[in-house]
C-alpha cells in the first residue's frame, strides 16, 4: 500500500478496514509490548470491545507514544507459531500519551466513565522497602510527596505517586469508585499496589486514605504470555505482509490459557501466580544468566543446551514440590513451557530477561530456596540460578542492567568467588550468605557453569 507519491502508507484509522476508536474507559500505565500482547488483545476480542477503549501512558521514555500516536494507537500483533507468523490488527488502544502529559492523565483518571486502571511497569517500580511497605526514604518518593503537597496537579515520577495523584483528582471530581489492576510479575500484586498507594496517601491526607479504602478496589492478576522486544525485522515483515508501515508491531507466542478472549476469574489467584513466577519466570531468569554465560543469545538457544535444560528441570522439580496443583497439572504446564521456550521464531533475547535481577530473583527463586531449606534439602537448581547471577554481576554473559543492584555489584566485585557468593546472597536476603551448605552448592554450580561456558 503506497501513497500518491509512491511512499509506503503509515498505519492509521483512516485506512480501510481499520476499527474505530472506542471511548476510553481504561487507563493503562506502562504501555509496552507485554500489555499490548495480552490485555489490549483480550480487550479487542471482548464482545463489547466497542465500549472499552484504552488510554495508554508510557513510562519515563516517550518513545512508544511517539510511535503509536501517529497511528491512532493501532498496531499489529505478530503471533509466532511453529508453522510461521500470523498478523492481526489491534484497535483497542484509543489514545497514547507520554508520561509527561500529566493533565491528560488526570483528566482520564477523574472522568466518571473511567472504570479501570491497569499497570505493567516493573517489579522495582512499586518502590518497597524490606518490610514490603512503601520506601518513604527514597529520593523519588520524597520529591513526589513534596510536589503533591505543593500542587496536586504537579507532575510526579513514581508509580505510587502517579496513582495517588490520579485518585486525588478523582475524589475532587466526585467521580466515584474505580478498580486498579496490577498485571506485573509480583505475588499478590493487588495487595502490593494497595499497600504502597495507601502508605503514600496517608502521608498526604488521612481522609484521602479513608476515601481510597471506600472507593478503590485493588484487584490481583496473573498474566502468562511471552513477549519479546520489537525488532526492525518485525517492522519489515509487517510492511511486507500487510502493506503498511507499523512503527511498533508486537511479536508474541501462540500460548494463551484462556479461551474466547476472556480472562479466567478465580477466588484465589496466588496458586496461579506461584506457578507462573516459579516455573516460567524462575527458569527464564536461570536461562538468562546461565545461558548467556555459556554463549547463548536467546531462550530457544539456551533451552536447547543439554546442560541448561538439565538445570531447568532440576529447578522445576524443586519448585513443583511446593505448588498447590496435582502432579499431572504441573507436568502439563512444564511440558507446555518446554514447547514455548523451544519456539525458534520467538527469538526472545536473554539480555532482555536478565535485567533487574536484584528484584526479580526475590520473587522468582528465593521462595523455593526457603521452602527447600526448610525441608532440609539443598536446592541445586536454585543454586544454579544464583550462581549464574553472581557470574553475571562479575561481568560474564549478558550485560548488567539493574538500577537496584548497586550493593550486589559491590559485593560481587572484586575478590574471589568464595568471598563474593556469600556477600551477594546476603544482599538478596539477610542471612542467606551464612547458610554454609547452600553457599557451597552455589559455588559448585558456578564452577559447573564456567567449566563449559564460552
Q: What's the burial of 148, exposed, middle or buried (CB within 10 Å: 0-12/13-18/19+)? A: buried
pLDDT grade for 454, boundaries at 50, 70 and 90: very low
**How is 53-82 classified by DSSP, letter by letter?**
EEEEE--S--HHHHHHGGGTT-EEEEEEET
pLDDT per residue as tens digits for the range 406-417:
999 999 998 999
Q: How far is Cα 45 from Cα 177, in angstroms, rounded to an integer?
A: 25
Q: How far is Cα 330 from Cα 328, in angstroms, rounded to an integer?
A: 5
286: Cβ contacts below 8 Å, ≥ 6 apart: 308, 311, 312, 315, 365, 381, 384, 385, 388
Q: How many whole angstroms from its chain centre is CA 214?
A: 29
Sequence-separated contacts (24+) of 232-238 with Cβ below 8 Å: 234/78, 237/78, 237/85, 238/76, 238/78, 238/87
46: Cβ contacts below 8 Å, ≥ 6 apart: 52, 261, 262
Which residue has 537448581 as its cell numbers?
381
On average, the pLDDT of the chain sits at 94
In terms of DSSP bridges, do strands 84-90 and 24-29 run parallel, antiparallel, or are they unpaired?
Answer: unpaired
pLDDT per residue as tens digits for the range 376-406:
999 999 999 999 999 999 999 999 999 999 9
What are the strands of the beta sheet with 250-252, ordered from one edge?
84-90, 75-81, 250-252
Please state the rounded mean pLDDT for residues 282-304: 97
pLDDT per residue as tens digits for the range 156-181:
999 999 999 999 999 999 999 999 99
Q: How far is Cα 319 from Cα 337, in angstroms, rounded to an integer?
A: 14
The residue ranking higher by pLDDT, 347 or 212, is: 212
Please state the rounded mean pLDDT for residues 123-137: 94
Q: How many whole angstroms from its chain centre is CA 34?
A: 7
Question: Whole-prediction pTM value?
Answer: 0.84
Q: How far is Cα 215 from Cα 351, in angstroms, rounded to an integer?
A: 41
Backbone angles phi, psi at 5, to 5 degrees: -90, 5
**What torsion do the CA atoms of 163, 164, 168, 171 make, to the nearest 10 degrees?**
70
Instruction: Answer yes or no: are the C-beta atoms of 302 and 346 closer than 8 Å.
Output: no
The pLDDT value recorded for residue 267 is 79
Give the containing element (helix H, strand E) for 89.
strand 84-90
pLDDT per residue as tens digits for the range 16-59:
999 999 999 999 999 999 999 999 999 999 999 999 999 999 99
Q: How far is Cα 282 from Cα 331, in angstroms, rounded to an integer?
A: 16
Give the containing element (helix H, strand E) for 151.
none
The pLDDT value recorded for residue 255 is 87
pLDDT per residue as tens digits for the range 181-206:
999 989 999 999 999 999 999 999 99
Q: How far is Cα 283 from Cα 287, in angstroms, rounded to an integer?
A: 6
Evaluated on CA atoms 313, 314, 315, 316, the torsion sign reads positive
The pLDDT value recorded for residue 1 is 59
Spell out the alpha helix ranges (H) of 343-435: 350-354, 357-364, 366-374, 380-393, 406-412, 417-428
pLDDT per residue as tens digits for the range 236-269:
999 999 999 999 999 999 987 655 555 677 778 8
Instruction: Answer yes or no: are the C-beta atoms of 179 and 217 closer than 8 Å.
Output: yes
- 3-state SS, residue 157: coil
The pLDDT value recorded for residue 200 is 98
The residue ranking higher by pLDDT, 350 or 81, is: 350
Amino acid at each position: 500500500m503506497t501513497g500518491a507519491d509512491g511512499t509506503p502508507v503509515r498505519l492509521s484509522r483512516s485506512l480501510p478496514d481499520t476499527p474505530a476508536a472506542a471511548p476510553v474507559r481504561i487507563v493503562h500505565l506502562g504501555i509496552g509490548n507485554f500489555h499490548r500482547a495480552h490485555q489490549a488483545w483480550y480487550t479487542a476480542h471482548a464482545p463489547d470491545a466497542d465500549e472499552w477503549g484504552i488510554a495508554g501512558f508510557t513510562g519515563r521514555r516517550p518513545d512508544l507514544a511517539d510511535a503509536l500516536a501517529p497511528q491512532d494507537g493501532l498496531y499489529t500483533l505478530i503471533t509466532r507459531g511453529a508453522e510461521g507468523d500470523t498478523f492481526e490488527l489491534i484497535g483497542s488502544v484509543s489514545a497514547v500519551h507520554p508520561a509527561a502529559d500529566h493533565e491528560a492523565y488526570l483528566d482520564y483518571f477523574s472522568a466518571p466513565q473511567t472504570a479501570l486502571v491497569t499497570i505493567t511497569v516493573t517489579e522495582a517500580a512499586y518502590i518497597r522497602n524490606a518490610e514490603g511497605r512503601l520506601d518513604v526514604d527514597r529520593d523519588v518518593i520524597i520529591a513526589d510527596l513534596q510536589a503533591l503537597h505543593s500542587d496536586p496537579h504537579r507532575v510526579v515520577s513514581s508509580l505510587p505517586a502517579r496513582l495517588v495523584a490520579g485518585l486525588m483528582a478523582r475524589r475532587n471530581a466526585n467521580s466515584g469508585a474505580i478498580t486498579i489492576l496490577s498485571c506485573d510479575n509480583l505475588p499478590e500484586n493487588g495487595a502490593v499496589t494497595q499497600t504502597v498507594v495507601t502508605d503514600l496517601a496517608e502521608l498526604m491526607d488521612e481522609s484521602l486514605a479513608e476515601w481510597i479504602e471506600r472507593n478503590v478496589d485493588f484487584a490481583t492478576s496473573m498474566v502468562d504470555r511471552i513477549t519479546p522486544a520489537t525488532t526492525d525485522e518485525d517492522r519489515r515483515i509487517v510492511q511486507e505482509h500487510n502493506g503498511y508501515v507499523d512503527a511498533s508491531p508486537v511479536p508474541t507466542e501462540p500460548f494463551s490459557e484462556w479461551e474466547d478472549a476472556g480472562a479466567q476469574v478465580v477466588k484465589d489467584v496466588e496458586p496461579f501466580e506461584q506457578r507462573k513466577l516459579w516455573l516460567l519466570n524462575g527458569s527464564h531468569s536461570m536461562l538468562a544468566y546461565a545461558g548467556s554465560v555459556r554463549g547463548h543469545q536467546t531462550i530457544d538457544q539456551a533451552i536447547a543446551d543439554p546442560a541448561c535444560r538439565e538445570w531447568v528441570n532440576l529447578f522445576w522439580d524443586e519448585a513443583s514440590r511446593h505448588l498447590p496443583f496435582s502432579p499431572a497439572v504441573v507436568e502439563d504446564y512444564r511440558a507446555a513451557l518446554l514447547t514455548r521456550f523451544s519456539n525458534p521464531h520467538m527469538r526472545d533475547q536473554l539480555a532482555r530477561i536478565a535485567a533487574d535481577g536484584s528484584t526479580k530473583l526475590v520473587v522468582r527463586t528465593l521462595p523455593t530456596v526457603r521452602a527447600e531449606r526448610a525441608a532440609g534439602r539443598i536446592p541445586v537448581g536454585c543454586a544454579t540460578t544464583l550462581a549464574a547471577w553472581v557470574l553475571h554481576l562479575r561481568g560474564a554473559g549478558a550485560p548488567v542492567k539493574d538500577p537496584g543492584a548497586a550493593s550486589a555489584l559491590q559485593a560481587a566485585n572484586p575478590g574471589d568467588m568464595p568471598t563474593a557468593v556469600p556477600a551477594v546472597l546476603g544482599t538478596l536476603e539477610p542471612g542467606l550468605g551464612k547458610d554454609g551448605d547452600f553457599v557451597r552448592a552455589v559455588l559448585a554450580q558456578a564452577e559447573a557453569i564456567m567449566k563449559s561456558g564460552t
